[in-house]
């Protein structure tokens, strides 16, 4: 048919640039045996470009559109409307019109057609763009079809399409439009088929949605659909909706809304036999494309016609294991308080660092706990630990176990599952043990800093790989693990026993305030000391308020007190600058690399606190813990057998205060070592850029460590691989990882199973005792934090980089977290009321609302409907 028109039979999946995503999928569908696709053709992107050359001032219009931000709704409306009018105002050129009408005559130019947009950035594996451009149904006659082809061309610039591209980083100039012209079918029923359950993600479950008439009623949300679920060729559930409306083809062209007869409204749109047959067709289509599909179908005379198939882009990926066995995975990110995706270099370095083999999916890491759940002994131990640390993960795992047949039980033999640090109960309570561990760690870091200096090329990569083994040895040092578990177990003992003896919950939260050797809590207090150096100098404070780039440290000496301020900030960076948001990913920026990100935190400390707040805050916490200890011991002595109980409790308090602070140190050591590696790797990347092997230094972030070794050794790079990895990472950023994931793709979040809460309360996990009221500050990025003293921080998760904000707040609410995650540990040490694991907290709580955080009981109350004023 020529360069402007291609029949479906001439199209395959490689021609997205020519016929768009929808057109390419229809071409592929037409090639699958046993799949009926209504005949049609595509008006190609060459035809679109031909029309675009006729539009006056198009370059100027696109220039203006490219400068708009995704949040500027008014500008998007004005400019996109102007572009659409300009395109629709250009008649289809005569030579192009002849080709299109000629293609119609090969089919039936008197038939009715669907005219549908097919953009080149549409129905892609990483971005569906579904519904962003226009579709027109039941278009009759060549003149009307040409008119609607023009409208489809213009729909590349609908407001929703423009906004979608802006949000997802697609260049308007690099997206083109083709148009599908497909013979209409007039179905008794139609709908959508998902070859994986779109809610749970389960790849073994097919979901069918069906309604009467054309599918537009369902897609547009006009009617509720019947919903059927099929597994292994059997309908396992069905929900029949009341279907009051349908969309039918109008005799004059277009569509019309009709009322379904009352006696049919609650009848199923499909029989069970038809549902099973449709599910089988879906599996055939999925097999062809190699991934789960979202399929549009029509039923005509008991025969199914497929009118579209696109990849499902919202499913969380499944780890690629290679066997056919069932597996259950627990999210590492929920344990590490960093659920963002990691880049390939970050994933591979973390995997090299940790002793446990991990599965990978969606840019996140998971631990396979299948074997731990298989025998009764290990299962009980694992679930027991999770009951305390993260009950939602425990509940999710229990729901899998309750199915009875997903995990094959092993004989109940062998030792129970045990966390690292076995034998901690025999560890002597001696502060010198912690001191020796920290001194040894610091000496090891100093040695790697020294020894890495002279290495380049393959020698550098080999050195890092060898040193990672040394880091692993230090991280799993038996005594280090025993110290951590001794602190955790003493904490659990105090909470359990004092609740049983005195009826008081979470007493250890007060007893562990201001413990020694907590490097993360010390970091937040040390930044208060930096504020003390700067606060007396008004000119310097004014200068910092206008800081926008990371070169500000070099300008400070020119200001009064500036040299002292620079030295104070630099000293803080020397000790803590290797940290940053998402720090378990070696590719993420560190404070030493982005020192300007500290400025808002320093200014907040200057505004919210008086001089000496750091030392005063620590001493207040220490005194509070001491007074609580005396109170508890006195109350215990008054109980039956009180002397023994008080003596035992005193030993446990000493133990928790000796060892609890060290809980944060191994991660600090690991992140310190990571930063040494990163600095050396970035220097190597600079050499690769200089040698024109890399385009930019940060391209190394999209290579796994072993791939980077090959690039350094061979001096060759697959640039296509880098582009694919960047595209994949962007798609991963849109996904939310589940707490628990099965090998069938089912994501489980678990629940708290509580019914003792006030109406409207937001339930979570209590991790730091106390009840506070205050203004909620909903903050998704620490760079946007504007905290006032007394505020309550509401966010998705907090890793150690958020600690400097904790000195100003009185409460903490997060969507992710557990009893022993970093945010919980620091909240207890600072005496903040904290509730973590609150589903969708950042959406259910609005910035500025007054809330009450029940850190002892584990829930949040919203006290005001309207937010307080947030300046």
Asked if pLDDT for residue 182 goes beyond 50, the answer is yes
Q: How far apart are CA 797 and CA 841, in angstroms?
A: 10
Residue pair 135/117 in contact by the 8 Å Cβ criterion? yes
Q: Which two tokens stand for residue 689?
A: 């850029």
Find where tokens 């207890």 sit.
828
Confirm whether 288 is a catalytic residue: no
**The sheet that has 293-300: what strands, in order across it?**
234-239, 226-231, 205-212, 189-194, 293-300, 303-311
Q: How far apart are CA 665 and CA 825, in angstroms?
A: 12
Mean pLDDT of 692-720: 97
Q: How far is CA 79 from CA 68, 118, 121, 507, in A?
A: 9, 22, 20, 61
144-180 tens-digit pLDDT? 999 999 999 998 888 888 887 777 667 777 788 999 9
548-574 tens-digit pLDDT? 899 999 999 999 999 999 999 999 999
Task: Report CA dihedral (395, 398, 402, 406) to the nearest 10 degrees.
Answer: 120
Least Cα distance to 227 among 248, 212, 214, 211 occurs for 211
Banded pLDDT at 121 (limits 50, 70, 90)? low
Helix, strand counts (H, E) of the chain:
31, 26
Confidence at residue 870, expressed as pLDDT on a 0 to 100 scale = 52
Residue pair 568/556 in contact by the 8 Å Cβ criterion? no
Least Cα distance to 811 among 866, 760, 766 occurs for 766
Q: Which two tokens stand for residue 125?
A: 């594996």
Confidence at residue 172, expressed as pLDDT on a 0 to 100 scale = 72
* Distance separating the N- and C-terminal Cα atoms of the chain: 63
Asked if pLDDT for residue 125 goes beyond 70, the answer is no
754-799 tens-digit pLDDT? 888 899 999 999 999 999 999 999 999 887 888 999 999 999 999 8
Confidence at residue 159, expressed as pLDDT on a 0 to 100 scale = 85
Mean pLDDT of 213-242: 88
Confidence at residue 249, expressed as pLDDT on a 0 to 100 scale = 84
Confidence at residue 868, expressed as pLDDT on a 0 to 100 scale = 67
Decide the pairing of beta strands 850-854 and 859-862.
antiparallel
Q: How far apart are CA 176 and CA 19, in angstroms?
A: 9
Confidence at residue 305, expressed as pLDDT on a 0 to 100 scale = 97
Q: Which residues contact 363 (CB under 8 A, 6 or more apart)?
A: 341, 342, 343, 347, 728, 729, 732, 733, 735
Confidence at residue 817, expressed as pLDDT on a 0 to 100 scale = 87
Confidence at residue 820, expressed as pLDDT on a 0 to 100 scale = 78
Mean pLDDT score across all residues of the chain: 91
Q: How far apart are CA 59 and CA 28, in angstroms?
A: 34
Confidence at residue 715, expressed as pLDDT on a 0 to 100 scale = 96
Q: Hey, is 413 helix, strand or coil?
A: coil
Q: How far apart are CA 618 and CA 623, in angstroms?
A: 9
Confidence at residue 415, expressed as pLDDT on a 0 to 100 scale = 55
Residue pair 451/463 in contact by the 8 Å Cβ criterion? yes
Asked if pLDDT for residue 77 goes beyond 90, the answer is no
Confidence at residue 1, expressed as pLDDT on a 0 to 100 scale = 46
Banded pLDDT at 130 (limits 50, 70, 90)? very low
Confidence at residue 869, expressed as pLDDT on a 0 to 100 scale = 59
Residue 828: alpha-carbon gap to chain centroid: 26
494-506 tens-digit pLDDT? 999 999 999 999 9
Judged by average pLDDT, the poorest of 62-76, 80-94, 521-535 is: 62-76
Q: Which two tokens stand for residue 227?
A: 């919903």
Q: How far apart are CA 789 and CA 806, in angstroms?
A: 10
Q: How far apart are CA 175 and CA 124, in angstroms?
A: 12
Q: How far apart are CA 338 and CA 796, in angstroms?
A: 9
- The secondary structure of residue 871, as a DSSP letter, is -
Least Cα distance to 800 among 519, 448, 531, 504 occurs for 519
Q: Which two tokens stand for residue 35?
A: 């799949």
Asked if pLDDT for residue 267 goes beyond 70, the answer is yes
Banded pLDDT at 129 (limits 50, 70, 90)? very low
Mean pLDDT of 120-145: 70
Confidence at residue 211, expressed as pLDDT on a 0 to 100 scale = 93
Mean pLDDT of 652-673: 96
Confidence at residue 126, expressed as pLDDT on a 0 to 100 scale = 44
Q: How far apart are CA 120 and CA 113, in angstroms?
A: 22
Find where tokens 């969606």 sit.
362
367-426 tens-digit pLDDT? 999 999 998 888 988 998 888 888 999 999 999 999 988 998 877 655 555 566 666 778
Q: Hey, is 203 helix, strand or coil?
A: coil
595-619 tens-digit pLDDT? 999 999 999 999 999 999 999 999 9
Q: Which one of the listed residues 25, 172, 822, 854 is annotated catalytic?
A: 822
Least Cα distance to 188 among 118, 112, 260, 121 occurs for 260
Q: How far apart are CA 725 and CA 766, in angstroms?
A: 39
Residue pair 528/604 in contact by the 8 Å Cβ criterion? no
Banded pLDDT at 124 (limits 50, 70, 90)? very low
Banded pLDDT at 60 (limits 50, 70, 90)? confident
Residue pair 831/779 in contact by the 8 Å Cβ criterion? no
Judged by average pLDDT, the poorest of 67-81, 425-439, 527-541 is: 67-81
């Amino acid at each position: 048919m020529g360069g402007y028109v291609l029949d479906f039979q001439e199209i395959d999946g490689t021609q997205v640039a020519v016929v768009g995503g929808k057109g390419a999928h229809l071409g592929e569908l037409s090639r699958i045996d046993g799949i009926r696709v209504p005949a049609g053709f595509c008006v190609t992107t060459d035809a679109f470009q031909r029309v675009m050359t006729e539009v006056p001032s198009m370059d100027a219009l696109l220039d203006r559109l490219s400068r708009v931000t995704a949040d500027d709704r008014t500008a998007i409306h004005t400019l996109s409307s102007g572009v659409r009018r300009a395109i629709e105002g250009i008649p289809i050129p005569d030579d192009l019109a002849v080709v299109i009408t000629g293609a119609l005559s090969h089919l039936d130019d008197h038939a009715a057609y669907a005219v549908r947009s097919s953009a080149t950035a549409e129905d892609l594996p990483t971005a569906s763009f579904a519904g962003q451009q226009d579709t027109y149904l039941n278009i009759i006659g060549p003149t009307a079809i040409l008119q609607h082809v023009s409208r489809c061309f213009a729909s590349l610039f609908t407001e929703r399409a423009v906004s979608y591209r802006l949000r997802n980083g697609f260049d308007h100039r690099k997206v083109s439009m083709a148009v599908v012209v497909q013979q209409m079918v007039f179905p008794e029923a139609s709908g959508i088929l998902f070859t994986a359950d779109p809610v749970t993600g389960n790849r073994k479950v097919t979901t069918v949605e069906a309604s009467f008439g054309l599918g537009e009623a369902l897609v547009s949300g006009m009617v509720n659909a019947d919903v059927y679920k099929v597994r292994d060729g059997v309908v396992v559930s069905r929900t029949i909706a009341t279907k009051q409306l349908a969309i039918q083809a109008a005799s004059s062209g277009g569509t019309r809304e009709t009322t379904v007869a009352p006696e049919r409204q609650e009848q199923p749109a499909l029989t069970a036999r038809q549902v099973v047959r449709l599910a089988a067709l879906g599996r055939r289509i999925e097999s062809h494309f190699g991934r789960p599909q979202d399929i549009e179908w029509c039923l005509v005379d008991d025969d199914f016609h497929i009118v579209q198939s696109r990849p499902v882009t919202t499913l969380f990926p499944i780890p690629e294991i290679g066997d056919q066995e069932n597996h259950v995975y627990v999210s590492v990110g929920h344990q590490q308080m960093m659920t963002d995706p990691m880049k390939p270099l970050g994933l591979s370095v973390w995997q090299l660092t940790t002793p446990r083999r991990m599965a990978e999916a969606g840019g996140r890491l998971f631990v396979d706990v299948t074997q731990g759940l298989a025998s009764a002994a290990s299962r009980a131990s694992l679930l027991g630990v999770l009951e305390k640390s993260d009950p939602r993960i425990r509940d999710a795992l229990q729901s899998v176990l309750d199915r009875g047949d997903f995990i094959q039980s092993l004989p109940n033999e062998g030792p129970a599952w045990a966390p690292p640090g076995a034998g901690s109960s025999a560890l002597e309570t001696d502060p010198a043990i912690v001191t020796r561990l920290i001194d040894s760690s610091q000496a090891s870091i100093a040695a790697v800093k020294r020894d890495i200096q002279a290495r380049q090329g393959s020698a550098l990569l080999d050195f890092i790989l060898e040193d990672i083994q040394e880091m692993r040895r230090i991280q799993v040092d038996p005594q280090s693990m025993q110290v951590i578990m001794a602190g955790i177990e003493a904490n659990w003992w105090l909470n359990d026993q004092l609740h049983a003896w005195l009826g008081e919950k979470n007493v250890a939260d007060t007893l562990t305030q201001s413990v020694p050797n907590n490097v993360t809590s010390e970091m937040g207090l040390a930044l208060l000391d930096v504020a003390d150096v700067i606060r007396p100098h008004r000119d310097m404070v004014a200068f910092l308020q206008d800081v926008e780039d990371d070169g500000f440290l070099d300008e400070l000496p020119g200001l009064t007190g500036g040299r002292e301020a620079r030295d104070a900030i630099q000293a803080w960076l020397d000790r803590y600058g290797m940290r940053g948001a998402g720090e378990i990913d070696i590719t993420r920026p560190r404070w030493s690399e982005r020192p300007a990100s500290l400025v808002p935190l320093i200014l907040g400390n200057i505004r919210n606190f008086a001089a000496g707040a750091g030392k005063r805050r620590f001493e207040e916490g220490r005194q509070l813990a001491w007074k609580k200890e005396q109170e508890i011991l006195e109350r215990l002595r008054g109980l039956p057998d009180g002397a023994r109980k008080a003596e035992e409790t005193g030993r446990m308090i000493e133990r928790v205060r000796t060892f609890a602070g060290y809980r944060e140190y191994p991660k600090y050591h690991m992140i310190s070592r990571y930063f040494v590696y990163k600095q050396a790797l970035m220097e190597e990347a600079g050499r690769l850029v200089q040698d024109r092997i890399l385009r930019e230094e940060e391209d190394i972030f999209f290579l796994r460590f072993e791939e980077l070794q090959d690039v350094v050794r061979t001096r060759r790079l697959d640039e296509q691989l880098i582009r694919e990895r960047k595209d994949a990472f962007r798609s991963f950023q849109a996904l939310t990882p589940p707490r628990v994931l099965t090998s069938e793709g089912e994501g489980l979040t678990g629940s708290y199973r509580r019914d003792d809460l006030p109406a409207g309360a937001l339930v979570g996990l209590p991790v730091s005792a106390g009840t506070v009221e205050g203004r909620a500050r909903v903050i998704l990025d620490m760079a946007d934090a504007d905290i006032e003293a007394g505020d309550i921080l509401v966010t998705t998760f907090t890793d150690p980089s958020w600690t400097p904000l904790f000195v100003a707040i009185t409460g903490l609410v997060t969507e992710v977290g557990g009893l022993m995650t970093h945010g919980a540990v620091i909240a207890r040490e600072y005496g903040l009321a904290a509730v973590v694991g609150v589903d969708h907290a950042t959406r259910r709580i609005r910035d500025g609302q007054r809330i009450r955080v029940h850190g002892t009981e584990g829930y949040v109350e919203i006290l005001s409907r309207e937010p307080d004023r947030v300046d």
